[in-house]
Structure 1
Amino acid sequence: MIKILHLSDIHMGSSFSHGRINPETGINSRLEDFIYTLSCCIDQAINTPVDLVLFGGDAFPDATPPPYVQEAFASQFRRLVDADIPTVLLVGNHDQHSQGNGGASLCIYRTLGVPKFIVGDQLDTHCIETQSGKIQVITLPWLTHSTLLTRPETEGLSVAEVNELLIERLQPALEGEIRRLDPDLPTVLLAHLMADRANLGAERFLAVGKGFTIPVSLLIRPEWEYVALGHVHKHQNLNPNNDPPIVYPGSIERVDFSEEKEQKGYVLVEVEKDTVHWEFHPVPARDFCTIEVDVTEREDPQAVILNAIQKRAIQDAVVRLIYKLRSEQLDLIETGALQGALQTAHSFTIRPELVSQLARPRLPELAVNRSLNPLDALQAYLDNREDLRDISEAMLEAAHSLLNS
């Protein structure tokens, strides 16, 4: 049996807004969280030991991460080189330039000739020699319209029509790789994609306007024993019949509050020809905690909010406190006391929401002395506009699309 560790969507260098600077290291605490959970995965790979590591893409938030973030990522994967464990790094949508060409953040590993490291930046088949025998890995990186189609071919077509045309181009390309396979060796498809049956999380916004959706039926083939996916941050198996398993391991650390209730981790796989066994393993990701309180009908709103905080396990968690109140109750809330009650949290935000339409809500996160990126600012604004709730999701998607264009 060949043992494989399958992980994906590290996004090292993201979620800094939920952290703080560690005075001892000068590093954002959220980067330290991501380094820690990645180290847990690498520890498992080395201690098992596994024969192969498959990374499903999205190493960083974008294709040009700061050098110190790249170094943190490389220092962990270097341990696999030292342990003589072959590794495949697949290119995801965040690893590409904004134009969708190349895997800028990962191609350095190929340029430097890192031993036993393969960068999957194109559809290709790799025969890998492991300690337990040979295995074939088909790499399918994140595909954009420009990858398979020219601009004239897509002019005048709807999004659905372009998606259909892309699938028509991808099918024979995959078939070509399948025909090259050695039928006596086990095979894994390693792909970074949005499958049509996937339950989505933060990535529904992170990839707006890019790539396309691939039907799960295209991934169910008898020629491969396991389908290792990346891109969707929620762990799931899209083919419960396991013929073959089609598995998203999910991200290894929470990116934002949309992933608050999701377990984070990696997958251990044992595979040989016509046989596969896989198991999800959680990692100790940082807890996120949302406390929502409606005090509009309460005589002592401050006490109610403080009591709600005391009932939750907020120690070392990333916390957001959301409370609804009437405009005439504003003077009954002492923000300093709320901040004091949240001091045991790793970090926190306080978001009051006014139910009255006669007064504008006081939003601490939008104060002039706060630094927010445009999307967080828009989210905070929409969260306090009841009259825009019906179109808030569409507005967020449009904003993501504009910022990523």
Structure 2
Amino acid sequence: MIKVLHFSDIHLGSGFSHGKINPKTGLNTRLEDFIQSLTLCINRAINDEVDLVLFGGDAFPDATPPPYIHEAFASQFCRLVEANIPAILLVGNHDQHSQGNGGASLCIYRTLAVPGFKVGDNIKTHTISTKNGEIQVITLPWLTRSTLLTRPQTEGLSLEKISELLIEKLGAVLEGEIRQLNPNLPTILLGHLMVNRARFGAEQFLAVGKGFTIPISLLIRSEFDYVALGHVHKHQNLNPDNNPPIIYPGSIERVDFSEEKEDKGYVFLEIEKGRVDWKFCPLPARLFCTINVDVSEQEDPHKVIIKAIEKKPIKDAVVRLIYQIRSEQLELLNMGEIHQALSSAHSYSIKSELISQLSRLRLPELGVGKSLDPLEALKTYLENKEHLRDIVNDMLEAAQLLLNREEYDQELEVLQEELF
């Protein structure tokens, strides 16, 4: 069995706004979080003496990261060279120039001829020799329309027709690689793709207008023993039948609050021709925590906010506090105490959302098509206004007097018409 470690979407250099400067290192603490997660991936590869490391693309937020971030990435991957572990670095959409050509952030490893490293910036089959045998990997980097079709081929066509041509062209190119495979060797497809069956997060919008969605039917092939994907940050298996497994390992750290509830990690697998055993391995990514509380109807909004904070596991987490409040309640808040309550967080932000005094509570009982006695309607409304509950009876009594007076006036008017 050949042991493989598959991970993706490092995004080293992301999320600085959620961190702070570490005075001991001079680095942003969120950069240190991403480096730690990457270090744990490389540690597992070395400690378990894997035969091959597959990186599914998106090393950095863009194709030209600052030198110190590039150095942090290189220092970890070079540990694989020292351990004689080959690696394939696939080019993702963030690794390309804005024009979508080339893999500027990763091609340096090919230029420097780093031993054992292969850069996957085109559709190509790589045969890798390992201590436990040979394995073949088809690389499928992030593709754009210009990668597969020329401008004359797409001129005047609808987007739907262009997409059909793209899928047709990709299918033909991929078929060409498949027909050249050695049928006796285990085969992996390594792709940075947006697949139509995937559950997307924020990354779905990171390449709007540049890439295209690939039907999963192109990936479910008997020739593939395992399909290793990158691009989608949420770990998932797109083919639960596992024939073959089509796996997004997800990103290795939380980039922002859209990934708050997602597990982060990598995939460890053992593979031979016709058989693969894989397992998702979680990483201790830093927690993100949202505290959302509506205090607009509370008598003591400050106390409610403090209690909401105390209920959440905010220690060393990236926290955002969002509260809804009326303008006249603002003076009831002690912001110093709120900041103190959040002080155990790694970092935090506070956002208030002012509720208009004219906004009305939506009650199903009072909706269109509902017919309630006027007093019952008023009672329903008052009972849902906490700050009016202590005068409900008085207001209902006053309303009853008004209704009685209105009925008396109506009866008097009818009597006068009859008499005169």
Which structure has the larger Rg over C-alpha atoms? 2
Identity percentage over the alignment? 72
Secondary structure, aligned partner of 1:113: coil
Aligned pairs for 1:165-204 (under 5 A) are: 165-204=165-204
Aligned mates of 1:223, 1:73 — CA distance in 2: 33
Say whether residues 1:154 and 2:154 are aligned partners.
Answer: yes
Aligned mates of 1:159, 1:49 — CA distance in 2: 47
Deviation at 1:110, TM superposition (A): 0.2
Deviation at 1:357, TM superposition (A): 7.5
Structure 1 runs (4+) greater than 3 angstroms displaced = none
Deviation at 1:163, TM superposition (A): 1.4
Counterpart position of 2:132: 132
Aligned mates of 1:187, 1:307 — CA distance in 2: 55
Deviation at 1:338, TM superposition (A): 1.3
Say whether residues 1:73 and 2:57 are aligned partners.
Answer: no
Question: Over aligned residues, Cα RMSD in angstroms?
Answer: 1.1
Please give the per-residue CA displacement for 1:75-116, whole angstroms capped at 9, x wherever unaligned: 000110000000000000000000000000000000000000
Aligned pairs for 1:365-384 (under 5 A) are: none
Counterpart position of 1:384: none
Please give the per-residue CA displacement for 1:326-382, whole angstroms capped at 9, x wherever unaligned: 1221222232221111111000000111221879xxxxxxxxxxxxxxxxxxxxxxx
More displaced 10-residue stretch of structure 1: 44-53 or 148-157: 148-157
Deviation at 1:159, TM superposition (A): 2.6
| Preserved contact between residue 88 and residue 118 of structure 2 (Cα < 8 Å) | yes
Deviation at 1:177, TM superposition (A): 0.2
- Aligned residue type for 1:63: A
1:79 to 1:326, Cα distance in 2 relative to 1, 3 A: same
Counterpart position of 1:82: 82
Counterpart position of 2:332: 332
- Aligned residue type for 1:309: I
Counterpart position of 1:45: 45
Counterpart position of 2:417: none
| Preserved contact between residue 140 and residue 192 of structure 1 (Cα < 8 Å) | yes
- Aligned residue type for 2:243: D
| Preserved contact between residue 326 and residue 357 of structure 2 (Cα < 8 Å) | no
More displaced 10-residue stretch of structure 1: 273-282 or 144-153: 144-153
Aligned pairs for 1:357-396 (under 5 A) are: none
Counterpart position of 1:341: 341
- Residue ranges of structure 2 left out of the alignment (5+ in a row): 360-420
Aligned mates of 1:242, 1:85 — CA distance in 2: 27
Aligned mates of 2:257, 2:157 — CA distance in 1: 36
Aligned mates of 2:207, 2:354 — CA distance in 1: 32
Q: TM-score, normalised by structure 2?
A: 0.84
Aligned mates of 1:349, 1:152 — CA distance in 2: 50
Please give the per-residue CA displacement for 1:254-312, whole angstroms capped at 9, x wherever unaligned: 00001000000000011000011100000000000000101011001011001100111
Say whether residues 1:282 and 2:282 are aligned partners.
Answer: yes
Counterpart position of 2:416: none
Aligned mates of 2:29, 2:72 — CA distance in 1: 13
| Preserved contact between residue 42 and residue 76 of structure 1 (Cα < 8 Å) | yes
Secondary structure, aligned partner of 2:34: helix
Aligned mates of 1:330, 1:200 — CA distance in 2: 38
Q: TM-score, normalised by structure 1?
A: 0.87
Counterpart position of 2:25: 25
| Preserved contact between residue 19 and residue 29 of structure 2 (Cα < 8 Å) | yes
Secondary structure, aligned partner of 1:267: strand
Counterpart position of 1:254: 254
Aligned mates of 2:357, 2:168 — CA distance in 1: 51
| Preserved contact between residue 91 and residue 120 of structure 1 (Cα < 8 Å) | yes
- Aligned residue type for 2:43: D
- Aligned residue type for 2:265: G
Q: Size of the alignment, in residue pairs?
A: 359
| Preserved contact between residue 202 and residue 256 of structure 1 (Cα < 8 Å) | no
| Preserved contact between residue 81 and residue 115 of structure 2 (Cα < 8 Å) | yes
Counterpart position of 2:397: none
